[in-house]
Amino acid sequence: MRQLRIYGAGCRRCGALYQNCLEALEAAGEQGIVLKEEDLANISQAKVMFTPALEIDGKLVSEGKVL
């Protein structure tokens, strides 16, 4: 099971990335969980420079883009 984490402050772009991740998991037929991280301290601790950011299975794969 995949674990996806969206880092962002709850903006529209962060919500769009969250929704896109849910749809991508469904389209790929994979099981997974999509989490939202909106706490600025946790975002900083993850070394995220630009939001929204996407982490998949513990690896930061995208920052500042809606995929």
Write out pLDDT tens, residues 3-37: 999 999 888 999 999 999 999 999 999 999 999 99
> What local confidence, expressed as pLDDT, does residue 24 receive?
94
CB-CB contact of 54 with 5 (8 Å): yes
> What local confidence, expressed as pLDDT, does residue 65 receive?
92
> What local confidence, expressed as pLDDT, does residue 10 receive?
84
CATH of 2-59, one of 3.30.519, 3.40.30, 1.10.8, 2.40.128: 3.40.30
Q: How far apart are CA 48 and CA 26, in angstroms?
A: 26
CA-CA distances (angstroms) from residue 48 to 13, 25, 52?
15, 23, 9
Residue 56 tokens read as 């998949």
Q: How far apart are CA 2 and CA 51, in angstroms?
A: 21
Residue 6 tokens read as 């969206």
> What local confidence, expressed as pLDDT, does residue 43 receive?
94
Segment 31-52, tens digit of pLDDT: 999 999 999 999 999 999 999 9
